[in-house]
Structure 1
């Protein structure tokens, strides 16, 4: 993939982005530019897996689906890869999920890209109309729940390790941050 990235001139199209070979790195498309981050750490992936497990049953009961690390098309030319998404029923063979189908998006903050998750992606997700944003801080194991209000998110709750989050929207789920590193 490196040769394809460095041999490319000008902005990236969605078609060129989707034609990239699979890689261990996460490659996202933001308005014609690629955003490349290293593969997540085992700690990050453990948190993601435990959170997905906590959401799996409740999402199925609600007729929804929870997925890890998939392309989400926020608008033409803007395709991030969130850590988790809760979606309406979708075609699992499509190359991306449209933002309109996403009910909740989750990012697990890695120390090296906190600004991307707390500022850039948060702004993009709200602008795309995604109602709920879950932000997990790895270092403190705290879970922040945000709800969209207009073009921005408003924090609705913060749940720390040792506490319990009773999520009521878009699904009813119980999340215990301390158990995310089980």
Structure 2
């Protein structure tokens, strides 16, 4: 992949991006540019798995899917890879999930990508019409739940360790931040 990336001239098309195939790094496409991040830390992955376990059971109860680290097309040429998504039933063999199938997107903030998750992706997810955005700060285990209002998100709740987030949409789930590491 390294030779393909560094030997490439000009902006990336979605077709060229998808032709890279599966990679060890998280490679996302934003308007012709590739955004490459190293593999997440074990702490990040534990939080993702524990949160995914809670959300998966809740999603299955209402015939939705919980998926990890999948390509989501927000619009042509804009393909992030969120940590977790809750979607309608989708074709599990497709390379890309369309944004209109996504009900909730979750990002676990790493110190190296905080600005991307808090600003860039938040704006892009809202503009694509994704109703719910759950942002988890891995350092403090603080969860921020946002709901789309027009083309932007409005914060609906902030949950810190010792409290519980009571999700009612798009699934019903109780999430206790301190349990995401235990």
Q: CA RMSD in A?
A: 0.6
Rounded to whole Å, the distance in 2 between the matches of 1:56 and 1:115 is 27
Cα-to-partner distance string for 1:8-27 (whole Å, 9 max, x where unaligned): 01111111101114222100
For each residue in 1:83-137, what CA deviation from the matched residue of structure 2 results, as whole angstroms up to 9, or x when unmatched?
0000000000111100000000000000011000000000000000000000000
Which residue pairs with 2:67 in the alignment?
67
Cα deviation, 1:128-166, whole Å, max 9, x if unaligned, reads 000000000011101100000000000000000111111
1:32 aligns with 2:32: yes
- TM-score normalised to structure 1 length: 0.99
Aligned to 1:103: 103
Residue of structure 2 in register with 1:146 after alignment: 146
* Secondary structure of the corresponding residue to residue 130 of structure 1: coil
Mapping of 1:77-156 within 5 angstroms? 77-156=77-156
The Cα shift of 1:57 comes to 1.1
Unaligned runs of 5+ in 1: none
2: CA distance, partners of 1:128 / 1:69: 18
> Any idea what the Cα deviations from partners look like across 1:29-57, whole Å, max 9, x if unmatched?
00011000111111000000000001111
Partner residue, 1:19: 19
Structure 1 moving runs of 4+ over 6 Å? none
> 1: distance between equivalents of 2:92 and 2:101?
12
Which residue number in structure 2 is paired with residue 57 of structure 1?
57
Q: Does residue 9 in structure 1 map to residue 4 in structure 2?
A: no
Q: Secondary structure at the match of 1:118?
A: helix
What is the TM-score of this pair, normalised by structure 2?
Answer: 0.99
SS of the counterpart of 1:157?
A: strand
- When the two structures are aligned, how many residues end up with a matched partner? 182
Query: 5+ residue gaps in structure 2?
Result: none
